[in-house]
């Protein structure tokens, strides 16, 4: 008889081929697994925002395809990563219905689970606990995610992928306007896990 170790199942391509806003909400409580530079790091997604297509003035895709945002127009379930404010990378997941041009979910905060000592090292040793991953630029630094991971396929166990987390029964989701944007502030497309200490604000 086989040894049965309960493996959490990887989110399939069909998970990402749905409405962008729905996916942003559904990603809460899911577990990001990251194999980069021979190091394993994992954490729970606790905050995310939806960015849609030409119906969303705050989205990079609003004015059409450019060199930077090409991944947003590509297949759902891949990574879209961009550099911002001269310092930081932001990690997004391409998420959209097949009929829609573009769309992605920004991962804004993660609760660290595995590889915490590596995250501390990547962030600088003076950074501890919640400061490791409680912001979009912080978590990419902690996980060593950068432009080389743009377009990475998240539906295969290569460098980045996401699995179900089975301990979400008591999770409460909060919805608010998105952070750091000046248009479409009436769209309630930010989601986070209530009372989770790693949420950015």
Q: What is the closest distance, in whole angstroms, from the C-beta atom of residue 59 to DNA in the complex?
A: 5
- 17 near DNA, rule: CB under 7 A: no
Shortest reach from residue 24's CB to DNA, in Å: 10
Interface with DNA, residue 58, by CB under 7 A = yes
C-alpha distances (whole Å) from 133 to each of 106, 120, 130, 138 are 14, 10, 6, 5
For the bound state, the minimum distance from the C-beta of residue 68 to DNA, rounded and expressed in Å, comes to 3
Q: Which stretch binds DNA (CB under 7 A): 33-41, 57-65, 111-119, 168-176?
A: 57-65
Q: How far is the CB of 183 from DNA (least distance, A)?
A: 8
Could you tell me if 143 and 79 are in contact, meaning their C-beta atoms sit under 8 angstroms apart?
no
Count of CB atoms within 10 A of residue 33's CB? 19
C-beta separation of 159 from 36 below 8 A: yes
- Picking from 8, 6, 7, 5, the residue whose alpha carbon sits closest to that of residue 165 is 8
In the set 7, 182, 186, 195, which binds DNA (CB under 7 A)?
A: 182
The CA distances from residue 93 to 49, 116, 201, in Å, are: 10, 23, 21
Q: Which two tokens mark 32?
A: 């990001």
Asked whether position 32 contacts DNA by CB under 7 A, the answer is: no
Q: Which residues of the chain form contacts with DNA (CB under 7 A)? A: 49, 51, 58-61, 63, 66-69, 72, 80, 83-88, 90, 92, 104, 106, 108, 123, 127, 131, 135-138, 178-182, 200
């Amino acid at each position: 008889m086989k040894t049965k170790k309960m493996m959490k199942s990887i989110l399939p391509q069909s998970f990402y081929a749905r409405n962008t806003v729905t996916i942003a909400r559904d990603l809460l409580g899911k577990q990001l697994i990251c194999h980069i530079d021979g190091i394993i790091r994992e954490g729970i997604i606790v905050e995310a925002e939806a960015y849609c297509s030409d119906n969303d003035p705050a989205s990079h895709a609003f004015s059409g395809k450019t060199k930077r945002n090409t991944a947003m127009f590509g297949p759902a379930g891949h990574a879209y990563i961009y550099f911002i404010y001269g310092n930081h990378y932001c990690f997004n997941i391409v998420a959209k219905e097949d009929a829609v041009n573009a769309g992605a979910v920004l991962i804004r905060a993660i609760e660290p689970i595995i590889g915490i000592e590596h995250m501390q090292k990547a962030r600088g040793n003076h950074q501890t606990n919640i400061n490791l991953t409680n912001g979009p630029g912080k978590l990419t630094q902690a996980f060593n995610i950068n432009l080389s991971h743009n377009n990475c396929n998240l539906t295969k166990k290569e460098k980045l992928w996401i699995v179900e987390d089975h301990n979400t029964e008591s999770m409460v989701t909060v919805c608010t306007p998105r952070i750091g944007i000046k248009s479409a502030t009436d769209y309630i497309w930010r989601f986070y896990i209530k009372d989770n200490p790693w949420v950015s604000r």
